[in-house]
Amino acid sequence: MKGDVRTTNTSVKHKDFLEYSKIAETMATKKCECESKRNSSHYIEVVMKLRHRKDEALRDLTTVELCEKVLGIIPGHYGSSQSSNQSHRRKDRRVKIRGLCTNGVAAKYPDIRVGDCLSSINDQEVNWDNLSSILHVLLVQRQVKLVIKKNMKGKTSGSVLLKKKTQSSLVQLVSGSNGNNVALDSLLQGDWEPFYGALYLSLDGVNSENMQAKEDIVYQFPRVDNQVIASRGMFITLAGTIHDATESTVQSTTMIVDNNPVHVVYHCEGQNLFVICAPENRFSRTTLVTLVKDLVRLLQVTHGSIHDTFTSSSNHNQLDCFFALLHQNQVSQSTNNGPVHEDNLNLSQSAKILPLTNEIKCCADRLLTDFEAADFGDMSDSYYGCRRSYSILGSCLFYKNYLVSNHLTREDLIDFSTYLKYHSLLNLSTDHSFGQLVVWREIHPTRQCQAVPEEQQFGYSEPLIARWFWLIVGYKNLIMCVALETGGCTKIVEGVSPPDPFLIDQARAVLMQLYTQNIASHCNNILTSTPSFVNSPEQYIQGQTQGHDLISRSLKKLPHKDSNLFSLANGVNDNPGSLRRLMQRRKDSVESDNSSESSGESMFKFSKKGRLFPETADLLHNIHESKEEMMSLNSNRKLSIGLENSLFHFQYYDNLEGVVISSETDSSTVNTLHDEIYNCFKKSCHKIKQLFDNARKIKEQSKTLKHHVCGIDDNFTAVREEGVMFTCSISQQDKKAPPLCYWVVGRCLSRSMKREIFVCFHDSTPQTVIELAFKLAMGYLPL
């Protein structure tokens, strides 16, 4: 299965199809690539072999079509994307490479990139005026020499060069644009965090007689020797011995190397071991355990099984790339030397939700639903008269780091969010803005790995011969993830399965539509506006806190609209249902509005083929209407009840849906006290969550009949809530001032222990208020 690189007419690998044509429009991403390859000149020469064409019909084509057919290049105007100013267009007659045809000639040449300028053909300068005539000449030629001017936009001043370089190296790592290889010498020495490493150890075919040096290491990253690697022998021995002693599987080891505590976390795959080690000043033991859990999940999704991942050496380049990226993001944070932010990994296996108003969320959901339905225009089966290759299982949408909309099951969503997180795509979408991002790969979903139906069940069951694919498309700050299935109601795809260009186009269209409808900018507004439902601790430094006027305040805070109340009270679980009802309501109103002009035309029926969003005007109208209301709603919202808002932070974790809501703020504001409180909050959330997780784990363990040799500590299995109070003296000078006290409280919300909420509030808050906040808060959050 692995490594069957397509050798047909494109240079892309079909399995790991990553195309970053233009990741950041304003960032100097191109610069770095240019540095290595084309430092001397901005022009490059490409000699292309052309396909012989006898087809006379080509002569009647337009210039654009001709260019696509002959060169495989989609030509474009400069400045045309920003302005439709015809006069401007007339002035700049240079030919821009707007895109490359999938099966075109140019796609074979890696030097030709979207965004470059086509400068000359066969030493003849090209512009829009003579392009057509030049191309007609090419029709009879076999070979052509192109000169391409690289897009050097963004090469500005030297002062910001350093920053740009690190950013673009991230882009390089993610996209694998430096040849999809981590240079061998950097693997051997490089600037790696000491004692950090990933290993796959196997004793298959190794015996002590012929053991020379490192036969037991199947894969190692980075290839640097240190004491940990030298003492790797004990990992396998430990795993075996401990199983003999306690009949349990080894999980982690702590040791001291050169006076540094180092953690080693294992994943046992039969007799073989996948090991990650990291120093404690970077990862606490529990964070490292979570990291390994995530990695194992991710590798199983992308490669099928851990063993396959590491044993086939063709994967090793890809793994090098992946682990280098991991190192860059999680381990060596060059800016700070402290431990990895606990929250980086703390709440993994979940996606952070962006709380949106219902109107916005509805729109986003509708766009996704339209796409998933795949029954419009030329996406339907009947249009081509053949069965489609892929059926869409569901999709989800991310804006920057946040989940905006999700139509996937929990397991699928977590697969996606884990993939995006560890491939830094979420980070990229936050810091940069994608020009184009397409990921296409075959995957092995966790959902399927865990439950294979043994016999045919009554009703629907998933097709047994199915294969699953992912399509991830990014545009600006939005990322759309689509889960695809083939083998069910679709054609059965054998062997190589290329990405469907039509799906990619449509997904991109959805994202662009989200931008035109200002949904993306609304998301941005919510992100940048200061969250009002949490309070800064400063006002408590002033001292006196007033009483809590419970009734008057809570009356004021009743939701304005019944529709809000309705869906909010339903919370997360009922989301699809309540949305559908809301959608229905919306649809009705839209239809009644339009009834005079287009009677009988439902909004989901398309008069024009291939056009996905015919009624944008209506939607736009709706959004503008709701905009004001939304802003006011957001600015007045607070979760606690009482005159003073004494809530500092909160975090809501839904294990059932795999989502998180958090009052996370940008750390742009310099506010030491706030930061200190935030750090304490994060750290204790981590501790409390650990307690909840352990309780869940022990509950699971005590259900099974497995014998626990050493017994089991089941005192905390029924834990509901834990709180910690922190005290800090506010000012050094004034010793008499009462210290600032605040609580961090975590609570399991439902019986099944699937939902957790963590809050941080000032000590002055009366308990009744907290109780009310716990009860009301979740109904009050827009989901």
Buried b (16+ CB within 10 A) or exposed e, 639-653: bbbbebbbbbbbbbb
| Site membership for another protein, residue 731 (CB under 8 A) | no
Residue 371 and residue 395 in contact, taking contact as beta carbons nearer than 8 Å: yes
| Site membership for another protein, residue 553 (CB under 8 A) | no
Site string for another protein, 1-30 (x = CB under 8 A): ------------------------------
Identify which range of 112-120, 455-463, 532-540, 705-713 contacts another protein by CB under 8 A. Answer: 705-713
| Site membership for another protein, residue 680 (CB under 8 A) | yes
Judged by CB under 8 A, which of 199, 228, 364, 393 binds another protein?
228
CB of 232 to another protein, least distance (A): 9
| Strand, helix or coil for residue 582 | helix
Q: Quick one: 313 or 669, whose CB is closer to another protein?
A: 669
* Rounded CA separation 148/75 (Å): 13
| Site membership for another protein, residue 683 (CB under 8 A) | yes
Q: Are strands 124-125 and 197-201 parallel, antiparallel or unpaired?
A: unpaired
| Site membership for another protein, residue 242 (CB under 8 A) | yes
CB of 537 to another protein, least distance (A): 11
Residue 687 and residue 384 in contact, taking contact as beta carbons nearer than 8 Å: no
| Site membership for another protein, residue 498 (CB under 8 A) | no
Q: Quick one: 96 or 689, whose CB is closer to another protein?
A: 689
Q: Quick one: 631 or 719, whose CB is closer to another protein?
A: 719
| Site membership for another protein, residue 708 (CB under 8 A) | yes
CB of 225 to another protein, least distance (A): 11
Q: Phi-psi category of 123—alpha, beta or left, where left has phi over 0 and alpha has psi -120 to 50?
A: left
| Site membership for another protein, residue 251 (CB under 8 A) | yes
Phi, psi torsion values for 44, nearest 5 degrees: -130, 155
Number of residues that bind another protein (CB under 8 A): 63
Cα diameter, the chain: 94
Residue 474 and residue 22 in contact, taking contact as beta carbons nearer than 8 Å: no
CA dihedral 540, 541, 546, 547 (to 10 degrees): 50
Q: Quick one: 462 or 721, whose CB is closer to another protein?
A: 721
Look up tokens 């906040």; give the residue: 773
| Site membership for another protein, residue 271 (CB under 8 A) | no
Judged by CB under 8 A, which of 11, 166, 169, 227 binds another protein?
227
CB-count burial class (<10 Å; 0-12, 13-18, 19+) for 26 = exposed
CB of 264 to another protein, least distance (A): 9
CB of 779 to another protein, least distance (A): 21
| Site membership for another protein, residue 285 (CB under 8 A) | yes
Judged by CB under 8 A, which of 116, 411, 722, 756 binds another protein?
722
CB of 103 to another protein, least distance (A): 53
| Site membership for another protein, residue 677 (CB under 8 A) | yes
474: part of which helix (H) or strand (E)? Answer: strand 467-476
User: Which tokens go with 91?
Assistant: 């002035």
User: Which tokens go with 275?
Assistant: 């090991």
CB of 721 to another protein, least distance (A): 4
Beta strands in 316-466 (DSSP E): 351-352, 391-399, 402-406, 434-443
Judged by CB under 8 A, which of 206, 217, 255, 776 binds another protein?
255
> What does each C-alpha distance from 374 to 136, 369, 509 come to in angstroms?
39, 9, 13
Per residue, what are the HEC states of 366-402?
Answer: HHHHHHHHCCCHHHCHHHHCCCCCCEEEEEEEEECCE
Judged by CB under 8 A, which of 63, 130, 186, 694 binds another protein?
694
User: Which tokens go with 703?
Assistant: 């259900």
Identify which range of 505-513, 540-548, 650-658, 671-679 contacts another protein by CB under 8 A. Answer: 671-679
CB of 673 to another protein, least distance (A): 10
| Site membership for another protein, residue 718 (CB under 8 A) | yes
Residue 721 and residue 692 in contact, taking contact as beta carbons nearer than 8 Å: no
* Rounded CA separation 69/135 (Å): 10
Q: Quick one: 179 or 738, whose CB is closer to another protein?
A: 738
Judged by CB under 8 A, which of 491, 585, 720, 775 binds another protein?
720
> What does each C-alpha distance from 486 to 192, 372, 409, 465 come to in angstroms?
41, 15, 18, 9
| Site membership for another protein, residue 775 (CB under 8 A) | no
Phi, psi torsion values for 387, nearest 5 degrees: -70, 145
Contacts to another protein from residues 594-613, by CB under 8 A: none
DSSP label at residue 193:
P
Residue 639 and residue 780 in contact, taking contact as beta carbons nearer than 8 Å: yes
Judged by CB under 8 A, which of 466, 583, 691, 776 binds another protein?
691
| Site membership for another protein, residue 135 (CB under 8 A) | no
| Site membership for another protein, residue 489 (CB under 8 A) | no
| Site membership for another protein, residue 725 (CB under 8 A) | yes
Site string for another protein, 561-600 (x = CB under 8 A): ----------------------------------------
Residue 131 and residue 67 in contact, taking contact as beta carbons nearer than 8 Å: yes
Examine residue 222 and say whether the peptide bond preceding it is cis (omega within 30 degrees of 0).
Answer: yes
* Rounded CA separation 516/507 (Å): 14
Judged by CB under 8 A, which of 130, 766, 772, 779 binds another protein?
766
Judged by CB under 8 A, which of 190, 261, 377, 498 binds another protein?
261
Binding-site ranges for another protein (CB under 8 A): 227-228, 230-231, 233-234, 237-238, 240-242, 244-246, 248-258, 261, 285, 676-677, 679-680, 683-684, 687, 690-691, 694, 701, 708-713, 715-728, 741, 766-768, 770
